[in-house]
Every structure is written in structure tokens, then in C-alpha cells.
Amino acid sequence: MPEFKPAYLIHGDDHGRIGERRAALRALAERESGSNGVECFAGDRSSPDVVAGALAAMTFAIGRRFLIVDGAERWKDADVATHLLPALASLGEETTIAFFAREEGRFKVSAQLARAVEKAGGSVAAERTMKARELPKWLQSEAARLGVSIDRDAAQALVAHVGERQQRLLRELEKLALELGAGARIGAEAVDEVAAHSAERQVWGLVDALVAGDGPAATRAYLELAAQGESVSRLVGLLARRVRDVLAIAQQLETGANPAQIKAGMKGSPWALDRRIAEARRSDAERLSRALEALADLELASHGASELSDPTEMVSAIAKIAA
């Protein structure tokens, strides 16, 4: 049987992780006491006076009583001190209350509430989103916890594939650990092969080939995607975005900017930016500008449709872009 503390406060700006912890606590509470033993407070019912009143009220539920409170980030210190501090100081032995505060901008959890939870013998936990540059190191520590290792290049590649949401990154890392087995050393190639969905890999293979000017490889990738029913409008959007990014870098390189200066002015993982810079070095601004013009024509031709009326238009555009 799990042991519960009298009170919990989970706060921070990682709203996804906070939501996961709330769902897990509620499921655990319902297994422990049934749905009748769990009370939830949100919206208009989430205020220090209402929650304090609920704590003081009689209950006929059998077993441990759980109160789950959302929206604590909007509470003021004065209201917490007036209503909740006395209630938290006299919690019943069979009562557990959990506060969830999704912080953002000026909405921050009350310092009074944090102190009151700790004084009641409870637990205060902060769930913070990490900056992009912190994620590779975090992934390496999570990999060690899962019994595998991941080098920094592979960790940066995983961020580039999946994005910066820690929950998604952790799910992909767990899949890699299961796929490769305990003690595995995860490199960038393994991330490319396992983390990305096969169709998504082909999309990026098309993008990579076009930017590199490899017409035959780009045509093969497109024909495979077309056979799978991939939307032309989606492909054109992805191609245009990549070409614009690489073109912007190529133009900066031509003016004498160095990689450090370029990365300082652009968003994205360092690993992805290094790849874009390498692509720009292998290309030139004039060719990329022509490619963007061809993509604009293609986007107009495919606007509002998942298929072009003449599939050879896409193949011709690929040849023109890669030339």
C-alpha cells in the first residue's frame, strides 16, 4: 500500500509534466479510496476559502480522503494566509490534499502556500521546462537511469527529431532503450533509425536531398512518399521552410559571418543548426533563391489539394530545384 503525505504542492511552467503528475495522483487516489473518496477543485471552486471550507467539512467517505486542487497559481498570499494556513495546520490523519499550480507570466504560486505545505509535513516539487541547451545533458542522465547511455551528438539529434518537450523526448528515449536493450550505447545513427517514424524519415530524406542538390535521390524519395499518399502541400511547406533556413545562413556566410554568430541569432538545437550551416556551405545563395521560386510556383499549383493534377509537375520541380 502506498504511503501518502498530508499535502503536496506541484508547481512550475512545465504544464505537461504537471498534468501527468496530477493524472497519476488521481488514478492512485481512486484505486486507494474509490471515486467517492476523491474531491476535485477547479475554476470557481478553486479558491483558498472554498478549499479551506471543504477541509473543515464532515465527510462520510471510508478510508483516506483526497482533495485535488487546480489553479493554485492564481492565489494571493493574503488569501492563503487568512483561509488555508489554519486549515493546513490541522489536517486530519486520513486526509491528503494536493495543490497544482501551472505557473506562467505573472501567475506564480504563493510563497505562503509552499511554506504551509512543508510545515504540514508535505512535499513541494517544482516542474520546470529546460532551455534547449540543457536538454542533451538531461537526456544523458535519463538514459543512465534507464540503463543505457547516449552520447551528446545523439542527444542533440533526438532533440532535433522530436522537439523540446521533455515528455516526448523521454518517451522516445524509453523506446530507444527498449529497442536496443540494457547497456546499449545510443549514437546519432541509432536515433535517426529508431526515433523517427519511417515516413517522417523519408520526408526529411527528400528535404536533405533537395537542399544538397541531389536530384536522383530527391526524385526517389518523392516517388516513395507519393506512393504512400503523402500530401504534396505538406511536402512543399517542409521544403520551403528548410530552403529558407539554409538560404538565410548561406547569405550570412557570404557576408563573412562565422558559425557562432549565425547560431547566436537563430533558434533551434545546436545539432540541427550545425547541420543547416554545413548544408549552406555545400550550396550557394543563388541556387537556393531559385529553389524557393520554384517551390512558390509549386505551392500555388498544389494550393488546396493533396495531389497535383499532373504528378510530373512535382518531379519537374524537383529537377529544377536540385539543378
- Report the CATH number that the domain containing residue 265 is assigned in CATH: 1.20.272.10
Angle at 113 between CA 109 and CA 114, to 5 degrees: 80
The residue among 203, 205, 221, 212 whose CA lies nearest residue 315 is 221
One-character DSSP codes across 38-73: EEEE-GGG-SHHHHHHHHHS-----S-EEEEEE-GG
DSSP codes joined into one string, 69-114: EE-GGG--HHHIIIIIHHHHHT--TTEEEEEEEE-BTTB---HHHH
Positive/negative CA dihedral, 240, 244, 250, 254: positive
What was the pLDDT predicted at 309?
A: 45
User: Within this chain, do residues 106 and 155 fall inside the same structural domain, yes or no?
Assistant: no
What element of type H or E holds 173? helix 166-180
Is the domain of 186 the same as that of 283?
no
In a domain, 72, yes or no: yes
**Over the stretch 261-308, which tens digit does the pLDDT of each residue have?**
888 887 766 667 787 888 888 877 888 888 888 777 777 766 544 444
Structural domain for 205, as ranges: 198-322
CB burial of residue 212 (10 Å; 0-12, 13-18, 19+): middle
Domain end call among 140, 172, 195: 195
Whole-angstrom Cα distance, residue 185 to residue 239?
A: 33
End position of a domain, from candidates 126, 155, 170: 126
At 270, list the grid cell: 545546436
Tell me the CB-side half-sphere exposure of residue 273, using CA atoms within 13 A: 17
Q: Which of 241, 231, 161 is nearest to 207 (CA)?
A: 241
Report which of 130, 109, 96 is spatially closest to residue 25, judged by C-alpha positions.
96
DSSP 36: G
* Amino acid 231: pLDDT: 67
Quote the CA–CA distance of 277 and 205 in Å, as a whole number: 17
For residue 302, what is its C-alpha cell?
Answer: 498544389
**Helix, strand, coil fractions of the chain, as percent rounded to 5:** 65, 10, 25
pLDDT at 208: 76
Degrees (nearest 5) of the Cα angle 210, 233, 240? 40
- Domain match, 301 and 215 both: yes
Contacts of 219 (CB under 8 A, 6+ apart): 315, 318, 319
Instruction: Say if 2 falls within a structural domain.
Output: no
Span between the terminal Cα atoms of the chain, in Å: 67
CATH number at residue 151: 1.10.8.60
Dump pLDDT digits (tens) for 97-129. 999 999 988 899 999 999 999 999 999 999 888
How many structural domains comprise the chain?
A: 3
Number of Cβ within a 10 Å radius of residue 10? 23
56 domain-assigned: yes
What's 50's domain CATH number? 3.40.50.300
Chain-centroid distance, C-alpha 211: 27
Task: Give me the residues of the chain with pLDDT under 70, please.
Answer: 1-2, 58-62, 193-204, 227-232, 268-271, 301-313, 323
* Calpha distance 270→264 (Å, rounded): 10
